[in-house]
Amino acid sequence: MTVAPSSNPVALDPIALEILANGLRSVADECFIALMKSAYSTNIKERNDHSTAIVDGRGRLIVQAARSLPIHLGSMLGLMTAVLARFPIAEIAEGDIFVGNDPYAAGGTHLPDVNLAMPVFIEGRLLCFVCNIAHHADIGGMTPGSMAGGTEIYQEGLRIPPVRLFRAGALVQDIMDLLLLNVRVPRERRGDYFAQIASCRLGARRMAELAASHGAATLAAGFDELIRRTEARMRAAIARIPPGSYSFADVMDDDGAGATDIPIKLRIDVGGADGRIRFDFAGTGKQVKGNINTTINATQAAVLYTLKCLLDPDIPNNHGLMSLLDIAAPTGCLINAVFPAAVAARLNTTQRIVDVIIGALAPVLPDAVVGAANGANTTAVFFGTDPRNGRDYVYLETLGGGFGGRAARDGKDGVQVHMTNTSNLPVEAIEMEYPLLVESYGLIEDSAGPGRHRGGMGLRRIVRPLDHEAVFSGQGERFVNPPWGIFGGGAGATGRFALRADGASDQALPTKPAAVTLAPDRAIVIETPGAGGYGPPSERSAADRAEDARSGRFSADYMRRYYP
């Protein structure tokens, strides 16, 4: 087999290219919706913790669904690099579907994110791959939910190298059996796998339809032109940053295994003759025993996301974003971890990478930056046996928090930020699906960082098991070091986990509890961080102060302290 030519004489005028680009985006978006509507787990069908993309035969990202997660960019591209390195093009057949998740062997970023990739052939030539990724609520390992407790990759779950799940259209049953034998709640996992498979097959059909309408050569030429134009647009955006070196540093609270205040340091160099921008993370702490380590492809995804947001939010997500970036991080550091580092909670660390980039570029991009957001992917996992039907369940959720104050408006309350854009899981969905009671769910009073434009507020959710014993694990960040304000704005509130027993005071839990046993008379309190404000609180308008007072979300003491 050969790859469809990517450099050919087909000419595309701007209108034709835009029509083609919209067609490709529609394919990726339809695949996203198909996966969402076909999935079994609430984590995908309700929270939308999944992504879809089209990658060309050389492994270059062409288009990503609009609602995809920024962190998943690193995983999908990593899998494609691993697949193309392991399988010669001549050995890839129509109907194959590849699967992988391992950060060290398959380009993943953590084990619960399982990647699938299906080649699309037109007239015997490889045109592209339809890819998706879904966060499975459990992938095995030492802790239900596969998100807490591990100190090496072996403990975090099933490691899947790039292998065929389907060969020429036929399921490789041995591989599926292996995947399902090593996870909790295999029935739900099987349903999510087949939702991913259905999404791949739909994407392959839609790409064949596009090829029938436009021609494979036109599509291949369009891939090249979309990447070229994105690169040109990114080059122009980088050129608007004043030449110079810009630095910032921040810390991770802890790794859950004894290390605290782990530094992430950054210097950004702009203004070279080649028009490139360099991100140098020298001085960042070494990889740690706990599971907050990050591989370099996840770090790359964080850099790409942040640069796009600050410079040109509407720029297309494709390979052209990457061609002008140089990323240097010491091998074996927190954000360029090497085997066998534990990485399950890597998203918390990529959130801090976003923060340090924003902090470094704030002096020269004041209208684009924001106060530090909640800086976390606050994770809660409940595991038990449902007394209603005798089946095991895994309820996994990551909760939003505050988004930072902005140059022209307040931050958002209770939202996912930056590297994750998953949805809220409604109380009704939780209580219908699981034997759990949500006793409280709302915004946390006074959690917003004050400022000319205040930061967003954090969330509080209190969950209790019903008629059974459950096990809770969690991952928290910005639980010790608050999200900072910018240009004189104040810090947002920190988050916390606590155990609440009937008739007793809350018992504080660690920032990363691995296994907390819950009887029906106990509940877990989850509070997520707020966000930092933008500008001095003294400059907040009278109208905004009056609205704050009317909202009931701020105490009289808070108002007196920050807005006298």
| pLDDT at residue 354 in the model | 97
Q: What share of the chain is helix, strand, coil (3-state, %, to 5)?
A: 30, 25, 45
The residue-averaged pLDDT of 139-162 equals 94
Does the pLDDT at position 1 exceed 70? no
Residue 264's DSSP bridge partners are 250
Are 57 and 120 in contact by the 8 Å Cβ rule? The answer is no
Poorest-pLDDT segment among 100-104, 265-269, 322-326, 495-499: 322-326
Give how far Cα 195 sits from Cα of 41, 45, 88, Å.
10, 10, 27
Higher pLDDT, 317 or 100: 100
Indicate if the alpha-carbon torsion angle 381, 385, 389, 391 is positive or negative.
Answer: positive
Q: What is the pLDDT of residue 394?
A: 96
Q: Is the pLDDT of residue 376 over 70?
A: yes
Distance from the first to the final alpha carbon of the chain: 72
Percent of the chain with pLDDT over 70: 98
| Closest CA relative to residue 437, chosen from 459, 467, 475, 472 | 467
Q: Are 5 and 215 in contact (CB under 8 A)?
A: no
Structure tokens at 92: 């890839």
- Taking alpha carbons only, the member of 404, 476, 477, 394 closest to residue 436 is 394
Q: What is the pLDDT of residue 59?
A: 92
Mean pLDDT of 148-165: 95
Q: How far apart are CA 301 and CA 32, in angstroms?
A: 19
Residue 204 pLDDT level (bands cut at 50, 70, 90): very high
- pLDDT bracket for residue 247 (50, 70, 90): very high
List of residues 6+ apart from 93 with CB closer than 8 A: 1, 119, 167, 168
In this prediction, residue 69 carries a pLDDT of 86
- Which secondary structure element, helix H or strand E, spans residue 432, and what is its range? helix 427-433
Q: pLDDT digit string (tens) for 66-92?
A: 888 888 877 788 888 999 999 999 999
DSSP state of 406: B
Q: Per-residue pLDDT for 31 more than 70? A: yes
Write down the pLDDT at residue 425: 87
Q: What is the overall mean pLDDT for the chain?
A: 94
Asked whether 167 and 96 are in contact (CB, 8 A), the reply is: yes
What's the pTM value of the predicted model, to 2 decimals? 0.94
Average pLDDT of the residues in 513-529:
95
**What does the angle CA 257 – CA 492 – CA 426 come to, to the nearest 5 degrees?**
80
> 275 burial class (0-12, 13-18, 19+ CB within 10 angstroms)?
middle
> Has residue 7 got a pLDDT over 80?
no
What pLDDT, on the 0 to 100 scale, is given for residue 222? 95
As a whole number of angstroms, the distance between CA 502 and CA 522 comes to 6
Cβ neighbourhood burial of 60 (10 Å; 0-12, 13-18, 19+) = buried
Q: What is the pLDDT of residue 93?
A: 96
The amino acid present at 186, given as its one-letter code, is P
**What is the pLDDT at residue 4?**
54
* Euclidean distance between CA atoms 218 and 223, whole angstroms: 9
Confidence of residue 9 (pLDDT cuts 50, 70, 90): low
